[in-house]
């Protein structure tokens, strides 16, 4: 039996003339947390919808837990859970009613369902379970949505931007739960996010999608290492002269122009600061602000796509 | 937010395993949710109580003396004549189509679709709830009729069949709003499906007997299935067990139901195919 939870080869999806997903090859190992990173409109949600059998591919092939997403859709549905981007809950039902309905949809008995509700009680506000969803805060809805997707103990969980719009406290709660699900139960997690910090915190491996194509993949550490050991972020009054001056320095690996500052990739940040400042001064460039830091996934994204992720919500 | 000391959900190993339910359990699961929602959305059914009561009282007040004075109409009771009209007004167009649109728009429908539930019960379950609601809506209208002196010539069995015919008509009609809901996912379009109600409800013998309509109107009414439903229901009130009239009513319901439910099923198939 394959140890791949998800495998796609040349996966495509078009809507009329628009190619939302151009060609996506993914290999997600059983038991890993895979972060799927990309800006709005990159094709993340479309890929997820194809993997959870809500959308048929228009090209390529995808298997989930060993079953083809088209011919084996009903088998896949029994073993996956999904919390979609907008917490999809019925506002005029209570939390308990939603969870019981979810249990019934997955063939659980009433007794099994009530046991699961008890087991999932840390995710849901116990005092609120009998209140209508319409009275829940955004964070409570998200956690209830996550609880609903876990009712049948899925082997593979899809989380589509699970913390978008959540306050920091709720975000950390969801992260803890995701980590625990993966570490304690070995649940494979496919997580889409536009938050780089989230991917960095949670994912064993990250795939970066842009304009319907995978543009980079690897562990967060490997991706960050790929653009250099350190980054000097410097804002200047003349980008063109600054880039020319910095590219001439032997200690500089790469210079990228970001939206607010230049990003200078170097191997040894502490040793490179001084030559960088001297080179800029020598070129007559005025420095506004200079920061030395390690690379982030945002830098990786910029490197791979030439743009930064615009975070919404 | 309440902070609890319960261990994290993820650390609790569960033995439950998802499995496909049978068709009937899927149907009942979907229906139960829809039935639970009915009393929580009184705005969806209160007009269906008010409008028939209003028309019943106004029509009887305006036309009772006139119609009962028509030469030859010696045993004619306009109250008996109007009660089926009130029932039809109560049950026509009642559905959970607007709720279905909300489910589609809020992506809750997607949550249902990604579960192993069979697809047909997603629609039929709503209709089970509609059927129960229209049966319930018949009761206050009947009570109003009894209060003002309507009598059942066919007794309790006739009364039950009377309610059943009304409810079946209501169910047959639901296919139209569901078809529009599934096709458009637009609440405005679903609301406009109420316009279908007018030709069905008024181009017929809803206010005066068929034979007293003008010839052109009578011609149209003969092609309107509601005409036969009303005649069948009226026969249970006044004329005793007239199986020919009852059979025509059930046939009219079956024909309209086949058309509207076929449209709804095709729309469901279309929505699923969009995926």
A57-73, pLDDT tens digit by residue?
A: 999 999 999 999 999 99
Please name the residues in contact with A253: beta carbons below 8 A apart, sequence gap of 6 or more. Answer: A227, A228, A265, A266, A267
Q: Do B16 and A153 touch (CB under 8 A)?
A: yes
Residues A182, A55, single domain; the answer is yes
ipTM above 0.85, yes or no: no
pLDDT at A230: 85
Q: Does B195 touch chain A (CB under 8 A)?
A: no
Let me know if residue A304 belongs to a domain: no
Q: Does A74 touch chain B (CB under 8 A)?
A: yes
Nearest CA in chain B to A13: B275
State the average pLDDT for chain A.
88
pLDDT at B27: 97
Q: How confident is the model over A268-294, as a mean pLDDT? A: 90
Residue A98 and residue A83 in contact, taking contact as beta carbons nearer than 8 Å? no
Q: Does A177 touch chain B (CB under 8 A)?
A: yes
Distances (CA, A) of A227 to A68, A148, A249, A253, B258: 37, 40, 17, 8, 65
Residues A177, A236, single domain; the answer is no
Highest mean pLDDT range out of A40-44, A207-211, B127-131? B127-131
pLDDT above 60 (res A313):
no
pLDDT above 70 (res A291):
yes
pLDDT per position as a tens digit, A228-252? 778 899 999 999 999 999 999 999 9
pLDDT at B4: 40
Q: Do A105 and B21 touch (CB under 8 A)?
A: yes
Nearest CA in chain B to A123: B9
pLDDT at A70: 94
In chain B, residues with a C-beta closer than 8 Å to the C-beta of A139 are 1
B20 → closest Cβ in A55, A107, A177: A107
In chain A, residues with a C-beta closer than 8 Å to the C-beta of B16 are 108, 112, 115-116, 151-153
Question: End of a domain among A219, A246, A278?
Answer: A219
A88 → closest Cβ in B1, B20, B106: B106
In chain B, residues with a C-beta closer than 8 Å to the C-beta of A128 are 2
Instruction: From first to last of the 275 residues of chain B, give the pLDDT tens digit.
Output: 333 444 455 555 577 889 988 999 999 999 999 999 999 988 888 888 888 899 899 989 988 888 888 777 677 888 999 999 999 999 998 899 999 999 999 888 999 999 999 999 999 999 999 999 999 999 999 999 989 888 888 888 999 999 999 999 999 999 999 999 999 999 999 988 878 888 888 899 888 888 888 999 999 999 999 999 999 999 998 878 899 999 999 999 999 999 999 999 999 999 988 66
Let me know if residue A187 belongs to a domain: yes
Q: How far is CA A139 from the centre of its chain?
A: 18
Q: Do B107 and A154 touch (CB under 8 A)?
A: no
Residues A233, A174, single domain; the answer is no
Residues A76, A199, single domain; the answer is yes
Q: How far is CA A286 from the centre of its chain?
A: 38
pLDDT above 70 (res A113):
yes
Let me know if residue A129 belongs to a domain: yes
Instruction: Calculate how close chain B gets to A310, using CA atoms only, in Å.
Output: 24
pLDDT at B125: 97
Q: Do A74 and B116 touch (CB under 8 A)?
A: yes
Q: Do A97 and B36 touch (CB under 8 A)?
A: yes
Distances (CA, A) of A308 to A39, A300, A302, B102, B272: 8, 9, 5, 35, 36
Residues A195, A61, single domain; the answer is yes
pLDDT at A256: 83
Q: Do A123 and B9 touch (CB under 8 A)?
A: yes
Q: Do B19 and A78 touch (CB under 8 A)?
A: yes
pLDDT above 60 (res A28):
yes
Instruction: Calculate how close chain A gets to B120, using CA atoms only, in Å.
Output: 13
Kindly report the CATH number assigned to the domain that includes residue A113: 3.40.50.300
Global confidence as pTM = 0.82
pLDDT above 90 (res A85):
no
Q: Does A82 touch chain B (CB under 8 A)?
A: yes
Question: End of a domain among A219, A241, A270?
Answer: A219
pLDDT tier at A267 (50, 70, 90 boundaries)? Answer: confident
Let me know if residue A214 belongs to a domain: yes
pLDDT tier at A312 (50, 70, 90 boundaries)? Answer: low
Residues A199, A234, single domain; the answer is no
Compute the 3-state secondary structure of chain A and give helix, strand, coil in percent, each to the nearest 5: 40, 30, 35
Q: Do A153 and B26 touch (CB under 8 A)?
A: no
Residues A200, A253, single domain; the answer is no
| Percent above pLDDT 90 for chain A | 51
Let me know if residue A309 belongs to a domain: no
**H helical segments located in chain B:** 23-37, 46-68, 78-91, 97-105, 108-113, 120-147, 155-173, 175-184, 187-192, 197-202, 215-221, 225-234, 243-274
A125 → closest Cβ in B2, B10, B116: B2
Q: Does A139 touch chain B (CB under 8 A)?
A: yes
Q: Do B111 and A148 touch (CB under 8 A)?
A: yes
Q: Which two tokens stand for residue B195?
A: 């316009």
DSSP state of B236: I
Question: Between these two residues, A122 and A51, which has the higher pLDDT value?
Answer: A51
What span, in angstroms and rounded, lies between the C-alpha atoms of A54 and A28?
Answer: 19
Q: Do A119 and B4 touch (CB under 8 A)?
A: no
The H or E element spanning position A232 is: strand A230-236
pLDDT at B10: 54
Let me know if residue A84 belongs to a domain: yes
Nearest CA in chain A to B35: A93
Let me know if residue A306 belongs to a domain: no
Let me know if residue A313 belongs to a domain: no
Residues A13, A160, single domain; the answer is yes
Nearest CA in chain B to A114: B16
Residues A215, A235, single domain; the answer is no
Question: End of a domain among A188, A219, A250?
Answer: A219
Nearest CA in chain A to B40: A92
Q: Does A16 touch chain B (CB under 8 A)?
A: no
pLDDT above 50 (res A79):
yes
Residues A215, A232, single domain; the answer is no
Residue A46 and residue A20 in contact, taking contact as beta carbons nearer than 8 Å? yes
Instruction: Calculate how close chain A gets to B119, using CA atoms only, in Å.
Output: 11
In chain A, residues with a C-beta closer than 8 Å to the C-beta of B107 are 84-86, 88
Residues A171, A71, single domain; the answer is yes
Give me the sign of the Cα torsion angle A90, A95, A99, A100: negative
In chain A, residues with a C-beta closer than 8 Å to the C-beta of B110 are 54, 84, 88
Kindly report the CATH number assigned to the domain that includes residue A279: 3.30.70.100
How many domains does chain A fold into? Answer: 2
Residues A17, A43, single domain; the answer is yes
In chain A, residues with a C-beta closer than 8 Å to the C-beta of B20 are 74, 78, 107
Q: Does A111 touch chain B (CB under 8 A)?
A: no
Q: Does B17 touch chain A (CB under 8 A)?
A: yes
Instruction: Calculate how close chain B gets to A44, using CA atoms only, in Å.
Output: 16
Instruction: Calculate how close chain B gets to A175, using CA atoms only, in Å.
Output: 11
Please name which of B267, B251, B113, B249 lies closest in space to residue B175, comparing C-alpha atoms: B267
Please name the residues in contact with B84: beta carbons below 8 A apart, sequence gap of 6 or more. Answer: B162, B166, B229, B230, B233, B234, B237
pLDDT at A311: 57
Least confident of A20-24, A53-57, A166-170, B61-65: A166-170
In chain A, residues with a C-beta closer than 8 Å to the C-beta of B112 are 105
The residue segments making up the domain with residue A70 are 4-219
Q: Does B21 touch chain A (CB under 8 A)?
A: yes
pLDDT above 90 (res A188):
yes
B29 → closest Cβ in A79, A82, A101: A101
User: End-to-end alpha-carbon separation of chain B, Å?
Assistant: 37
């Amino acid at each position: 039996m394959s140890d791949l939870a998800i495998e796609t080869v040349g996966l495509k999806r078009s809507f009329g003339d628009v190619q939302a997903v151009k060609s996506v090859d993914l290999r997600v190992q059983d038991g890993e947390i895979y972060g799927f990173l990309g800006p709005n409109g990159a094709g993340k949600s479309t890929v997820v919808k194809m993997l959870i059998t809500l959308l048929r591919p228009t090209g390529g092939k995808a298997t989930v837990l060993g079953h083809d997403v088209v011919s084996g859709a009903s088998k896949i549905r029994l073993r996956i859970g999904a919390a979609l981007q907008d917490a999809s809950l019925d506002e005029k039902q209570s939390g308990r009613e939603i969870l019981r309905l979810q249990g019934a949809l997955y063939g659980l008995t009433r007794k099994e369902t009530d046991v699961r509700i008890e087991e999932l009680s840390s995710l849901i506000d116990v005092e609120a379970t009998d209140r209508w969803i319409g009275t829940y805060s955004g964070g409570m809805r998200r956690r209830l949505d996550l609880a609903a997707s876990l009712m049948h103990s899925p082997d593979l969980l899809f989380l589509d931007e699970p913390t978008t719009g959540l306050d920091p406290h709720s975000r950390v709660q969801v992260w803890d739960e995701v980590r625990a699900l993966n570490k304690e139960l070995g649940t494979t997690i496919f997580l889409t996010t536009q938050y780089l910090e989230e991917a960095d915190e949670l994912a064993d491996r990250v795939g970066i999608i842009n304009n319907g194509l995978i543009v980079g993949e690897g562990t967060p550490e490997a991706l960050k290492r790929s653009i250099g050991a350190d980054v000097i972020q410097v804002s200047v009054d003349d980008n063109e002269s600054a880039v020319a001056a910095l590219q001439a320095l032997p200690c500089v690996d790469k210079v990228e122009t970001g939206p607010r500052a230049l990003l200078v990739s170097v191997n040894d940040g502490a040793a490179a600061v001084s030559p960088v400042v001297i080179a800029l001064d020598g070129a007559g460039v005025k420095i506004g602000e200079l920061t030395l830091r390690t690379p982030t996934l945002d830098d990786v994204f910029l490197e791979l796509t030439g743009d930064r992720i615009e975070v919404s919500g | 937010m309440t902070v609890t000391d319960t261990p994290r959900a993820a650390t609790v190993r569960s033995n439950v395993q998802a499995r496909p339910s049978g068709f009937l359990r899927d149907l009942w699961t979907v229906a139960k949710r829809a039935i639970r929602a009915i009393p929580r959305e009184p705005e969806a059914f209160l007009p269906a109580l008010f409008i028939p009561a209003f028309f019943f009282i106004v029509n009887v007040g305006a036309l009772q003396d006139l119609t009962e004075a028509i030469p030859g109409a010696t045993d004619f009771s306009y109250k008996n004549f109007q009660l089926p009209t009130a029932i039809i007004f109560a049950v026509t167009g009642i559905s959970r189509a607007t709720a279905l649109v909300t489910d589609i728009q809020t992506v809750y429908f997607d949550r249902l679709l990604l579960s192993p539930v069979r697809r047909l019960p997603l629609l039929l379950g709503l209709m089970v709830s509609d059927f129960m609601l229209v049966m319930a809506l018949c009761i206050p209208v009947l009570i109003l009729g009894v209060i003002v002196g309507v009598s059942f010539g066919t007794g309790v069995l006739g009364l039950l069949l009377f309610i059943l015919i009304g409810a079946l008509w209501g169910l047959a009609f639901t296919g139209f709003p569901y078809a529009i809901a599934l096709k458009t996912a637009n609440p405005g379009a679903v609301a406009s499906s109420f316009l279908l109600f007018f030709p069905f409800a008024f181009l017929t013998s809803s206010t005066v007997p068929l034979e007293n309509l003008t010839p052109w109107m009578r011609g149209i009414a003969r092609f309107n299935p509601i005409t036969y439903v009303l005649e069948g229901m009226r026969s249970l009130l006044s004329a005793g067990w007239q199986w020919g009239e009852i059979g025509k009513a059930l046939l009219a319901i079956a024909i309209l139901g086949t058309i509207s439910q076929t449209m709804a099923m095709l729309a469901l198939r279309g929505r699923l195919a969009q995926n």
